[in-house]
């Protein structure tokens, strides 16, 4: 096994977010396995004080019901006061920390393989903005919407207590209803709608290209040529759909990888800088400090 990463990086999903000896009968709080290897339902009982940064392997929907918590989706670190709903995508780097003593939430995890035979992933991405627009991956909820979505989480909990041949199909339906309820709630927020038929598809392609090539390709020309558009068009599409620049998304990916290496590897700052293709480690330090307001070494120390 590559010893680049510390042992805790290879712990199971359950060990990454839950403490041991959990006393809770909700969902799968006390179970270290996923339902049919692709679905999990949990409460924040036994939730670790600091989770991440980790690269998500599942879709995640969290319903914050009480208290507050910090959520860092790559570089978008904000304190969220309940009630709220948050979404994380496979491959996305995230951290959760600084939860208040009274914090309480429900959350579900599901894989693409678990959901794809019931709900088209293409339709999910095109219909629900919180799966492609990072500015609305987490948003506050009205009390009426909280109660409606909470009831759906509780219905899934009841279904898991009485598993039968149709349980998987029923959970599919509840996930779909949660997504629809979240979309209706988001529609009440003053966020900018975009033409998902064209701009959305290009944004998703751009994000996929970034995930595959951000280490060796930072210039925008590479991505614009791959997408068969101009750099100006690329920047306009990214800005209209996310409020950021195209370079912001590339820098987000670089920073997320830097955080993973600083927290989970034993490599020096200089080694990480060169691995991330910075010609000068001092430039990497300046980049990291500009993005996070702390040096790489300070981040590493505070993350222990």
Torsion, Cα of 207, 209, 213, 218 (10° steps): -70
Share of the chain above pLDDT 90, in %: 45
Q: Is 78 exposed, middle or buried (0-12, 13-18, 19+ CB in 10 A)?
A: exposed
Rounded mean pLDDT of 169-196? Answer: 83
Q: Which residue has the higher pLDDT, 124 or 212?
A: 212
The pLDDT value given to residue 11: 46
Q: Which residues of 260-288 are buried (b: 16+ CB within 10 A; e: fewer)?
A: bbbbbbeeebeebbebbebeebeebbebb
**pLDDT confidence tier of residue 150, bands split at 50, 70 and 90:** very high
Instruction: Give the sheet arrangement for strand 93-97, strand by strand.
Output: 51-55, 93-97, 68-73, 76-81
State how far the Cα of 53 lies from the Cα of 50, in Å rounded to an integer: 9
The pLDDT value given to residue 54: 80
Helices (H), the chain: 13-17, 112-115, 121-127, 143-161, 167-186, 201-213, 220-227, 231-242, 246-264, 269-275, 281-292, 296-302
pLDDT tens for 276-297 read 999 999 999 999 999 989 999 9
What one-character DSSP code corresponds to residue 196?
I
Closest by CA to 132, choosing from 120, 123, 140, is 123
Torsion, Cα of 214, 56, 128, 130 (10° steps): -70
The pLDDT value given to residue 89: 80
Torsion, Cα of 96, 274, 292, 218 (10° steps): -100
The pLDDT value given to residue 282: 95
pLDDT tens for 54-110 read 878 888 999 999 999 998 876 556 788 899 999 988 777 788 889 999 999 999 999
Closest by CA to 84, choosing from 101, 98, 70, 95, is 70
The pLDDT value given to residue 272: 95
Rounded mean pLDDT of 172-195? Answer: 83
Per the omega criterion (within 30 degrees of 0), is the bond before 83 cis? yes
Lowest mean pLDDT among 133-137, 138-142, 171-175, 251-255: 133-137
The pLDDT value given to residue 77: 61
Rounded mean pLDDT of 182-201? Answer: 72
Average pLDDT of every residue of the chain: 84
State how far the Cα of 254 lies from the Cα of 219, in Å rounded to an integer: 13
DSSP three-state, residue 24:
coil
DSSP three-state, residue 210:
helix
Rounded mean pLDDT of 235-245? Answer: 82
pLDDT tens for 200-234 read 778 878 888 898 899 889 899 999 999 999 999 99
Structural domains in the chain, CATH included, are 7-186 (2.60.120.280), 196-302 (1.10.10.60)
pTM for this entry: 0.69
Residues 6 or more apart in contact with residue 2 via CB below 8 angstroms: none
């Amino acid at each position: 096994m590559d010893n680049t990463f510390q042992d805790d990086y290879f712990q199971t999903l359950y060990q990454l977010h839950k403490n041991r000896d959990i006393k809770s009968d909700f969902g799968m709080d006390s179970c270290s396995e996923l339902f049919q290897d692709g679905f999990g339902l949990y409460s924040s009982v036994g939730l670790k004080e600091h989770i991440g940064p980790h690269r998500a392997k599942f879709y995640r929907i969290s319903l914050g019901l009480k208290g507050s918590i910090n959520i860092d989706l790559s570089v978008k670190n904000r304190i969220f006061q309940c009630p709220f709903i948050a979404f994380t995508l496979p491959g996305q780097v995230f951290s959760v920390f600084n939860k208040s003593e009274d914090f309480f939430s429900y959350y579900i995890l599901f894989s693409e393989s678990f959901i794809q035979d019931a709900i088209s992933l293409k339709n999910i991405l095109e219909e629900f903005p919180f799966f492609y627009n990072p500015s609305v991956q987490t948003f506050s909820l009205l009390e009426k919407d909280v109660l409606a979505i909470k009831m759906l989480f509780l219905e899934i909990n009841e279904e898991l207590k009485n598993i039968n041949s149709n349980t998987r199909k029923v959970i599919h339906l509840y996930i779909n209803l949660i997504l629809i309820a979240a979309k209706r709630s988001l529609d009440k927020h003053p966020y900018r709608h975009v033409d998902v038929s064209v701009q959305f598809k290009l944004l998703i392609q751009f994000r996929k290209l970034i995930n595959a090539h951000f280490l060796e390709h930072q210039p925008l020309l590479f991505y614009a040529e791959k997408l068969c558009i101009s750099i100006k068009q690329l920047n306009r599409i990214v800005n209209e759909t996310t409020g950021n620049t195209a370079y912001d998304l590339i820098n987000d990916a670089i920073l997320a990888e830097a955080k993973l290496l600083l927290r989970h590897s034993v490599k020096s700052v200089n080694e990480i800088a060169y691995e991330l293709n910075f010609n000068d480690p001092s430039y990497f330090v300046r980049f990291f400090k500009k993005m996070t307001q702390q040096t790489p070494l300070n981040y590493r120390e505070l993350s222990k």
